[in-house]
Amino acid sequence: MDLALQITYLLGLLTLLGVSAVLVARQVLKTRATETRLTELQRKVTAGEATAADYYELGSIYLRKKLYVQCVNQLQKALKNWDENDPAGLAKVYNALGFAYFSQEQYDLAIRQYREALKLQPDYVTALNNLGHAYEKKNLTAQALEVYEQVLHIAPDNPTAKQRAASLRKRLTPTPS
């Protein structure tokens, strides 16, 4: 190998290692921040100082960690304590609770929570997409398509609804003999 090729190879390797180190460091810092916040929230709950928003945040962290039972518990506490004058915030709690149930394959409970979110905020696109997905899991194809069509009426460029609606239309359209 000539020297120029060796130097190019070495620089490429060093660049790859540098990028990898940055990505690992970012992930470590993100994880550390999440764990620190988790500890703070758990302390507030234990001390009886937690607000509804704290319960929601703690539930959200448990959801990301896939600790669904703990997540549901915290989100239910958030619902009990949430200010009813904040329907958008309350809708987010119901949607997160629905997602926790969905993740445990409890689709009927998930659907109920998504519907509650949509009663509070009818144009909540994330909850609508989640509801459509839950209908799909229950093989309620027509209802799922209807929900995705509703999303596309609100947000015509929504990639999830576009893709899922197109797929469902193909399933519902009879093929010519």
CATH code, 26: 1.25.40
Q: What backbone phi and psi angles, to 5 degrees, belong to 89?
A: -65, -40
Any domain includes 114: no
Could you read off the pLDDT of 14-36 as tens digits, one per residue? 889 888 888 988 988 887 887 88
pLDDT mean over 89-93: 95
Indicate if the pLDDT at residue 1 is higher than 70. no
96 and 127 share a domain?
A: no
Domain extent for 158: 123-177
Confidence of residue 66 (pLDDT cuts 50, 70, 90): very high
44 and 85 share a domain?
A: yes
Any domain includes 64: yes
- Residue 176: per-residue pLDDT: 63
Any domain includes 103: yes
Any domain includes 15: no
85 and 139 share a domain?
A: no
Any domain includes 118: no
Any domain includes 117: no
Any domain includes 10: no
Number of structural domains in the chain: 2
Any domain includes 6: no
36 and 101 share a domain?
A: yes
32 and 78 share a domain?
A: yes
Contact 99, 119 (CB under 8 A): no
